[in-house]
Structure 1
Amino acid sequence: MLLKKRAVLLMSWLMLAGTTVQAQQDNTKLSVEKIMRDPTWIGTSPSNVFWSEDGKKIYFNWNPEANRKDSLYSVSADGKNIRKVSPQERRSLPSPFGRYNRAQTQKLFEKNGDIYLLDLKSGKTQQVTNTVERESSPSFTHDEKKVAYIKDGNLYLWTISSGQVAQLTDFKKGTKAGNGDAKDPQRDWLKEQQLALLQIVREREADKAAAQKQQKADSPSRPKEIYLGEKSVDNMVLSPDERHITYRLVTRPKNAKVAIVPDFVTSSGYTEDINTRTKVGDAQATYESFVYDIRRDTTYALQVKDLEGINDQPAYLLDTDTKASAAKEKAAKPAKQEMRSAVLFGPIWSDNGKHAVMVARATDNKDRWILKLDPATGKLTTLDRQRDEAWINGPGIGYGTGDIGWMPDNEHVWFQSEESGYSHLYTVNVSNGNKKALTSGKFEISGPQLSKDKKSWYFTANKVHPGEKHFYKMPLQGGELTQLTTGTGAHEVALSPDERTLAIRYSYSNKPWELYVQDNKKGAKAKQITESLTDEFKAYNWREPEVVSFKASDGVDVYARLYQPKNKVANGPAVIFVHGAGYLQNAHKWWSSYFREYMFHNFLADNGYTVLDIDYRGSAGYGRDVRTGIYRFMGGKDLSDHVDGAKMLADKYNVDPKRIGIYGGSYGGFITLMAMFTEPDVFAAGAALRSVTDWAHYNHGYTSNILNVPQLDSLAYAKSSPIYYAEGLKGALLICHGMVDTNVHFQDVVRLTQRLIELGKDNWELAVYPVEDHGFTEPASWTDEYKRIYKLFEENLKK
């Protein structure tokens, strides 16, 4: 009996041990269902890091309790006393954004549509405005005795000592004649008839004019009425001497057609229409910049027609094939080609109030100018011109003002430029135009800022490796770069107000972002503050994808992430992932924004696949030539980079060249379609997610930079759009798309679907997601989509 009980106990123990081992194994085994759950199962990384004004605390958003939303947390500057911020403290905090006075003893900021003034020494905050309307863009005047801000489309001035408010501009909608309505010949005729026929009408009109004249004489400081018609006003800036106001008028096109996306799953039970955007090449807003001279009570336009090179036509218009195509289209339907125009940004005034510069961009984005402004005459003098026959962009450059400011001597302006092929820091003298490069080399910098003592620079750069981001310090006039961060990966740094401490968000390729603090010294050790990952996430041994490079067919170095199965097999299957675009990098050494795909690639590798994730032509982090490598031909070098990557997999990593699949979303979906249609012997299967199928149906801001506009460069659109190549499909194709995608519209895949039907293709399928926009949000949708992708690869790439 005793032996029997012992046997039963032993059996129970063995079963329990087996269950425990099985549970542990299940906890470390990946599945699509596990990966695609609500991301809180991973843990929530800290984000939106900023310092308290006194530098004693670091604030950040965090969610260690896996609640529905992140909460605000704080930690002492030494990394101790981490705690959740109470609602009362959160509401009392000043905005982390704002404007400081020169001594940095006061700070202006907007919060909840009102203006506040913070005294940094006492910590007391004064509410400047308290209205239902929104007040925004507060700034100190040059003498720092007043505050300028915008309300209801006009510029106001608040005197700090007295609290007096003065309105500086009087922009009005409509026209002066007709009480805000546009001129009407019939109404004008009736008014003239009344004045001619009736004495009382003439007398009353004369009395009204006299009263207005008297009111103007009694109130000489009243601002000039400026009627906008149907235009809107923005970019209002007061000069340091408070005499000139620069502003910009915006004309919205009347005939622009906005695409509509129908939403089928709604609370009302009815299909509801969503207004989205125009399509590339449609009429765009136009801009005019002006100066209002308060003392002379007059306005005058800032002219861009005389800018250096403003009439230089883009090279593509001189291309023989383009000219022939344009002539053919013009014969069919004549189109008027407008002269080049430009948009002005700024001005940015020097600290001593003596100089002002503006940034101009050609509306075709082929040129960017740094200009000196004389507000008294409106004259613009070119200090620097950047010309790119593709399009102007890059770190610190962007599509607006870009990163720009004044050096301490008030005679030099600093800015970023890709003149050398990589985005670097430059200065130019506003008096003689002499230009100097402060940084150089085959790397890019971003986020430059001057130290408080104006003797040094701080910025982020990928100098060590294109896939690493470190924080650097450099002397004011250039020189040796001192690397302040050390860990391999990426560092997002917020300097403390006294610049003694770095608050760092750091991640590595298989370690999500965490918060660290470090002394602002070379070689200082960073101290980890947060621990965000769940035990379940840490239980799996996540791969460190190897960052490799290979030579493209044209000799360019292409970087990629490589995931390999632990138990390699000869002639195994492989999958190539294509990241999205917009200007993005993914073959790097930090935690990817494509974290679901990263986990899916681990899952694929566990199941015998080799995975390659390529930073193809057009990706960020590698300089101007890579950035613009897709100009006028998307689906050209960006696709050939993937074909070359597939060849490398077969040559170097023992992959069967007949068993290579490809997938990606958005731009990645576009490349997948181009791959399946134009390189059918390279890729056996592909999953195209939320993909552009015809670039003529995408937006203007992104597409016109790369392909120009369809009516002037139709050849570029024909070469670059998958819908023209659908007859080439041989392998198995999966198409997935959200039905309420307001970015790449569902119409894109509907048109392609009809094309595939008409071509008689039967080796494809379409999965639709009724409640999803461009970026999926529902775990059920993610799970369904990736189960289909995995099934596609299993059925077509496994023998």
Structure 2
Amino acid sequence: MFRYSFVLLFALMFFVSESSIAQQKKTVSLEDVFKSNTFSQKSVYGINWMKDGQYYSSLQRGLTGPKVVKINVATGEEEAVLIDGAALGINFSSYSFNPDESKALIASEVESIYRRSSKGIFHVVDLNSGSAQKLMDGGKIMYATLSPDNDKVAFVKDNNLFVVELASNVVTQITQDGKWNHIINGAADWVYEEEFSMSKAFEWSPDGKKIAFIRFDETEVPEFNMQTWGKLYPEDYRFKYPKAGEKNAEVSIHIYHLDSKETIHVNAGEEKDIYLPRIYWTNDSNALAFIRLNRLQNQLDLFYANAKDGSSRLILQEKAETYVDLNYNDDLRFLEGNKGFIRTSEQDGFKHIYHHDNQGKLIRQITSGNWEVSRLVGIDEKNKKVYYISTEASPLERNLYVINMDGKGKKVLTPEKGSTSVNMSKDFKYYIANHSNAQTPLKVTLNEASGKLVKVLENNSELKSRLEDFQLSAKEFFRFNTIDGTSLNGYMIKPADFDESKKYPVLMYVYGGPGSQNVTNSWGGTRDFWHHHLAAEGYIVVCVDNRGTGARGRDFKHMTYANLGKLETEDQIAGAQFLAGMPFVDASRIGIWGWSYGGYMSSLALLMGNDVFKTAIAVAPVTTWRYYDTIYTERYLQTPQLNAAGYDDYSPITHVNKLKGNYLLIHGTGDDNVHYQNAVDMVDALIKADKHFDVMFYPNRNHGISGGNTSWHLYSLMTDWIKKKL
């Protein structure tokens, strides 16, 4: 009896002690996430490997200004300051070296244009003397790039392509016809930039004597008009935006010869309604490679062009019944000594690495299996090894592997659970790894190619220490089967004081677009910690990756082809139904929110799953694919002329009469990507259907709805609304 009482007393003391510790810990507040940046993590920025592989450079920011330092790989110690912003009097934000590392380009006063494009003031720094040469008298230019022979810089200004001789400062204007909303030379138009992940559209030849560039004639592309507010009379901002089924820019490839000042037109075929999204110089300065896609993007052609006369020949062709995903397979590398090229393709059902000879004939498939190569890191030709990141361990994981070019000797170099990305040295002796998982923030390490740790560069110890002060629950991963037997991945964030005997409301978070992935074993960002704040307020936050998302093979990703919205919505509804069956979930209080494609999905989920979802927030949603751009939309839906039902059957506007629950629609009026027009037409349709809803617009904010106090306001608004409506 005495012993039992002692044990009971000890247990009570332990319980009181644990409770007091829990009470001392803080819950995640909105101020922590959006005001004080309590959960922001550190990294190592601006890392560039130097040519001998024994050093790397890093951009550092101090109280006196930016500087680029040279770091010894073996010791991890800083050996020299290569560029000193304070000494130069230049507050630069980026830098790049020429091949022999005698010069560097630095950019300052950089002004963003769209997602990937920008313009700024550029200086060429002589790394031997430390002097800086200002380009174009300080006028803002785009995509300044040093030539391989070290004595010239090419750039774009006012839609024209230029080159400057550094020794004489003589500027040559290569093109003359550049004009806003008509002709662009050497830079991508809006839709290429957004959907083909490119902005610079010119490349130096290896010998520095030629420049290949893409010309965009967007004269016939319809204009989109976006009003900007804040003045007595709102101003119009007009830019070329080809909506689905409308006319694209007519594109062509040209090669400028600096010696003769002659421009050669490259033959890309007779068909004009095509895409020319990639140009690459091979290792031969007389051979330019380029990719051509047809309008429906279900045929990809790789050509070689003769730089002397512009003639071209087909090297490789890939076709698909759905689409060939260029962005996902953008890994073309030419080998030295005419040993062909390495590329990635989904042609066997999963993204893998292939080796072709110089004529395009397949030599071998280097990797294979029911998993995906997510990134080709590099090819060590000397030792005949290929480095890549893959999902072989799990679709939720990313690990670094090495394999011989003959497809043998595969080895995992980063076996740790979680997500790893790497930056490998040019001589393949070292790599810098960025690793995190759902429980551990970013860790940056320097490693030998074998995987052996050399030095920890950043482990976010300060953030880890701060995290110990907060009540945080671990992100729990789960899988469930839909009614047709499809297995889907998800994660769940529960309140830190979770009690399984209670009933909790659930907020689901969705993106869900083709090839995307939210459910990964990686550290989250600001949005994740907002979800932790909601968990602290008594909500369970859940995310499910539906059919059509990435990392599970081509067939899984392409299931949604020609009918976006159908299967994805079914899966989100199935996810909500699965959660409703859990004993600790209040089935009458399940909500969903998303941004962009996620806003499209949350809208459809509330409308078509009106017996399951009580509440939805849609931020910057597509409400009809007829309003979105050609390249993205037609890749997945074909054109409206060919597939009208695919555009209309699963448009949220089509289903507004089904609204029963609470709906909050949020959009920025300056959204150049998913136009505010989507919100306006959705609101109009809801009014006609006599439905009540809430709406918030953010003046002049773009698709990211940020800047100044905006993020704080947005997430405070959504938090308050969720508390009232869910």
2: CA distance, partners of 1:136 / 1:738: 32
2: CA distance, partners of 1:71 / 1:296: 40
Q: Is the 8 A contact 2:401 2:410 kept in 1?
A: yes
Superposed, 1:284-363 pairs within 5 Å as 284-290=248-254, 301-305=265-269, 340-343=273-276, 345-350=278-283, 356-363=288-295
Equivalence for 1:225: none
| 1:240-277 CA distance string (max 9 Å, x none) | 789977554321224622231332xx3x5654444465
1: CA distance, partners of 2:685 / 2:266: 50
Cα deviation, residue 684, structure 1: 1.8
2: CA distance, partners of 1:88 / 1:392: 48
Cα deviation, residue 755, structure 1: 1.9
Aligned: 1:685 with 2:615: yes
Q: Is the 8 A contact 1:587 1:613 kept in 2?
A: yes
Equivalence for 2:406: 477
| TM-score, length basis structure 1 | 0.72
Aligned: 1:702 with 2:608: no
Superposed, 1:72-87 pairs within 5 Å as 77=73, 78-79=75-76, 87=85
* Residue 289 to residue 481, structure 1, CA distance change in 2 (3 Å): same
* Residue 669 to residue 62, structure 1, CA distance change in 2 (3 Å): farther
| 1:477-525 CA distance string (max 9 Å, x none) | 3323322224322223223455444323222214332433333323547
Letter in structure 1 aligned against 2:482? A
Letter in structure 2 aligned against 1:48? Y
Q: Is the 8 A contact 1:574 1:661 kept in 2?
A: yes
Superposed, 1:159-558 pairs within 5 Å as 171-173=175-177, 231-234=183-186, 246-254=212-220, 256-263=222-229, 266=230, 268=231, 271-275=234-238, 278=241, 280-281=243-244, 282-290=246-254, 301-305=265-269, 340-343=273-276, 345-350=278-283, 356-375=288-307, 378-393=310-325, 397=329, 402-431=330-359, 433-441=361-369, 442-451=371-380, 453=382, 455-496=384-425, 499-522=428-451, 524=453, 527=456, 529-531=458-460, 532-533=462-463, 536-558=466-488
Aligned: 1:30 with 2:28: yes
Equivalence for 1:88: 86
Superposed, 1:512-661 pairs within 5 Å as 512-522=441-451, 524=453, 527=456, 529-531=458-460, 532-533=462-463, 536-565=466-495, 566-569=498-501, 572-579=504-511, 581=513, 583-592=515-524, 595-651=525-581, 654-661=584-591
1: CA distance, partners of 2:155 / 2:568: 45
Letter in structure 1 aligned against 2:552? Y
Other structure's SS at 1:40 match: coil
Other structure's SS at 1:683 match: coil
1:138 maps to which of 133, 141, 146: 146
1: CA distance, partners of 2:223 / 2:93: 42
2: CA distance, partners of 1:362 / 1:705: 10
Cα deviation, residue 725, structure 1: 0.6
Other structure's SS at 1:409 match: helix
Equivalence for 2:9: none
* Residue 137 to residue 678, structure 1, CA distance change in 2 (3 Å): same
* Residue 363 to residue 39, structure 1, CA distance change in 2 (3 Å): farther
Q: Is the 8 A contact 1:395 1:423 kept in 2?
A: no
Cα deviation, residue 671, structure 1: 0.8
1: CA distance, partners of 2:459 / 2:594: 32
* Residue 128 to residue 431, structure 1, CA distance change in 2 (3 Å): farther
Aligned: 1:111 with 2:43: no
Q: Which runs of 5+ in 2 are unaligned?
A: 1-15, 108-120, 187-200
Equivalence for 2:666: 736
Q: Is the 8 A contact 1:117 1:127 kept in 2?
A: yes
Cα deviation, residue 554, structure 1: 4.0
Q: Is the 8 A contact 2:377 2:389 kept in 1?
A: yes
Cα deviation, residue 795, structure 1: 4.9
* Residue 670 to residue 519, structure 1, CA distance change in 2 (3 Å): same
Cα deviation, residue 284, structure 1: 2.0
* Residue 702 to residue 252, structure 1, CA distance change in 2 (3 Å): same
2: CA distance, partners of 1:292 / 1:34: 55
Other structure's SS at 2:527 match: helix
Letter in structure 2 aligned against 1:346? I
| 1:661-691 CA distance string (max 9 Å, x none) | 2112222111111111112112122222222
Equivalence for 2:116: none
2: CA distance, partners of 1:673 / 1:631: 20
| 1:60-105 CA distance string (max 9 Å, x none) | 5679x9x9x99988876445679999643796999654552xxxx5
Aligned: 1:59 with 2:63: no
Bigger-Rg structure (1/2): 1
Cα deviation, residue 753, structure 1: 1.9
1: CA distance, partners of 2:168 / 2:417: 55
Letter in structure 1 aligned against 2:282? W
1: CA distance, partners of 2:660 / 2:683: 15
2: CA distance, partners of 1:602 / 1:527: 29
Other structure's SS at 1:41 match: coil
Other structure's SS at 1:673 match: helix
| TM-score, length basis structure 2 | 0.78
2: CA distance, partners of 1:556 / 1:70: 51
2: CA distance, partners of 1:650 / 1:546: 17
* Residue 651 to residue 580, structure 1, CA distance change in 2 (3 Å): closer
1: CA distance, partners of 2:348 / 2:169: 49
- 581-590 or 662-671, which deviates more: 581-590
Greater strand proportion: 2
Q: Is the 8 A contact 1:449 1:457 kept in 2?
A: yes
Equivalence for 2:196: none
Cα deviation, residue 578, structure 1: 0.8
Cα deviation, residue 42, structure 1: 2.2
2: CA distance, partners of 1:489 / 1:526: 20
Equivalence for 1:186: none
| 1:338-358 CA distance string (max 9 Å, x none) | x7534263242225x575432
2: CA distance, partners of 1:520 / 1:769: 48
Q: Which runs of 5+ in 1 are unaligned?
A: 1-17, 175-179, 181-227, 311-338
